[in-house]
Structure 1
Amino acid sequence: MRLEVLLPFQIFLQKDAVSRVVAETSTGSFGLLPHRLDCVAALVPGILSFETPDDGEVFVAIDEGVLVKTGPDVRVSVRRAMLGSSLAQLRSAVEHEFLTLDEQTSSQRAVMNKLETGFLTRFALIRHD
């Protein structure tokens, strides 16, 4: 199989000769082998693993996203991804990187909600005048 991990503004990873892929959904982990039927899956934040003859088993920390398998192509589109040399190293990096970003995103969403609420309130007042 050919695996691509896509981020919003770049191709994070491209690998050929992938013999298996394991990903996580809200209902649990599932695996893809080369002759599996085409499918689409919503991914949750976690670890995606894949195996190639040259690299062996490789782990990638991913944020939420979508996996699409069509024929021999597996495309994973996520907001963030990170390669690690070991699961322990990836866990530490994810806790630091992703959780910090999630806190920033929550703060940004709170500010946007306040702005939107203020805009909608003003818009409603203008329409009633």
Structure 2
Amino acid sequence: MPQPTFMRLKILLPFGIFAEKNDVSRIVAETREGSFGLLPHRLDCVAALTPGILIYENEAEGEIYVAVDEGSLVKTGPDVFVSVRNAIEGKDLGLLRETVEQEFLNFNEREQIVRSVMAKMESGFIRRFAEFHHE
């Protein structure tokens, strides 16, 4: 059976498809054990990804960097599926780093607001429950 010469990469987010690329010649991903590379002829595998930079390369675009959150990578034949919570793409690592820092700052601010609202809701629920319990 002939070895595949390219891979098909699909990066999935919880709300949709972030990227779908054909003719990918190599992929580099990060796990807790460190970075590892995928070539088209590599055996099928599954890996738990850590937040970091995923790199892929194809002839049309060259080397592309994608900042990803934690997730998973599954390679089956020529198909590679990456499922993560967040992803940001860029061709320049410096600009990508700035964009990621800004996105995470915005995310942290939103997360703090949500936590504050949840804490108020929980304390209100506990207060009403205590009042109900005393009646």
- Give your verdict on TM over 0.5: yes
Match of 1:24, SS state, is: strand
Is residue 5 from structure 1 mapped to residue 20 from structure 2 by the alignment?
no
1:39 aligns with 45
The offset of 1:111, in angstroms, is 5.2
Partners in 2 of 1:107 and 1:7 — Cα distance? 23
State the number of aligned residues.
129
SS at match of 1:17: strand
Write the distance in 2 (CA, Å) between the matches of 1:28 and 1:35.
Answer: 21
2:77 paired residue among 71, 75, 84: 71
Q: Percent identity?
A: 63
Q: Tell me, what secondary structure is at the counterpart of 2:27?
A: strand
Give distance in 1, aligned partners of 2:32 and 2:125: 35
Tell me the residue number matched to 1:98.
104
The runs of 5 or more residues in structure 2 that have no matched partner are 1-6
Matches within 5 A, 1:73-92: 73-92=79-98
Rg: which structure is higher? 2
TM-superposed CA distance for 1:108, in Å, is 3.0
State the distance in 2 between where 1:50 and 1:17 align. Answer: 10
The yes-or-no answer on 1:52 pairing with 2:30 is no
**CA deviation map 1:65-116 (0-9, x unaligned):** 1111111100111111111130000000000102331343355346547756
SS at match of 1:75: strand
Is 1:18 paired with 2:24? Answer: yes
